[in-house]
Amino acid sequence: MSRILIIDDDDGTRFYLSVLLKKIDPTLEVLQAHDGEEACEILDTSEEAPTLIILDINMPIMDGFEFLKRNSARIDLDKTRIVIQSSSEEPADRDAINAIGLVHDYCLKPIRKDVMIRYLNR
């Protein structure tokens, strides 16, 4: 079973992604975090790493950039893919994400079904 971690402060976005993922594959385990700090707690208490992390950039308490910086040493990129989803089209955000080097892809919200299927099949 694949484990997916959605990290986004928007309740509607988390709900949409959870429903989309379950429609694609009902066997997926979908975890949700409101911000990077809550996501760190989930990673700390989980025995199994997520196979996919869908991460928002702009969140309260701990944003996506800080989450990536704090977890860069413990995320095994051979086992976990990280996708940034954002409503920002700012080149500076993309440059900052690329500079961190952990992100597999960057896409604008909302993630379409065909794109999500591609992320799950990699």
CATH 3.40.50.2300 matches 3-121: yes
Rounded to whole angstroms, the Cα distance separating 104 from 23 reads: 23
Domain residue spans of the chain: 3-121
Task: Note the pLDDT of residue 122.
Answer: 74
Mean pLDDT to the nearest integer, 67-83: 88
Indicate the burial class of 105 (C-beta count within 10 angstroms; 0-12, 13-18, 19 or more). middle
DSSP structural state of residue 112 = P
pLDDT for 69 beyond 80: yes
Task: Note the pLDDT of residue 1.
Answer: 56
pLDDT digits (tens, 9 = 90+) for 12-38: 999 999 999 999 999 999 999 999 999
Structure-token pair, residue 22: 């379950």
Rounded to whole angstroms, the Cα distance separating 110 from 101 reads: 23
pLDDT digits (tens, 9 = 90+) for 77-99: 888 999 999 887 778 877 887 78
pLDDT for 57 beyond 70: yes
Mean pLDDT of the chain: 90
